[in-house]
Amino acid sequence: MNSSFIKYLLIISVLWLLWGCTIHRMDIQQGNVLTQEIFDKLVVGMEMRKVRGLAGTPLLSDPFRTDRWDYIYTFKHGITRETQYSYVTLYFEKDILVDIKIHADPLKREDINTLNRQLRQLRS
């Protein structure tokens, strides 16, 4: 075999492998989706069970501090690698919501829908 043919074949193989490795990256979603719409319905004075029914089970729950619930959500886009997140902590006293602390703003439902639309367009 010709050495230039082997070099050509090697270059094509490497390019094909690199192209195949970058074609598909999955979106990574972790945690609770606590959107602004859900957050707007949370009211200081709500019972713990109503909060759980509205916002779901918290991602982090400390067995030694049952009076604090942390809702964390991250979304890492598979293609653009853009990361969005929200982080909210709820505090309870005697099973009643007494404080809401926003560490990172909750996502809006339309933001999540926009990310999903962009993803579908990029994959088609």
pLDDT confidence bin for 51, thresholds 50/70/90: very high
Which residues is 74 bridged to in the sheet?
Answer: 30, 85
Q: What is the mean pLDDT of residues 69-89?
A: 80
Half-sphere exposure of 9 (CA within 13 A, CB side): 6
Residue 49 vs residue 106, higher pLDDT: 49
Show the tokens assigned to 70: 């942390």
Residue 38's nearest CA partner among 109, 91, 90, 92 is: 109
Domains of the chain: 25-123 (3.30.1450)
Residue 36 has pLDDT above 60, yes or no: yes
Residue 64 vs residue 90, higher pLDDT: 90
Contact call for residues 41 and 64 (beta carbons, < 8 A): no
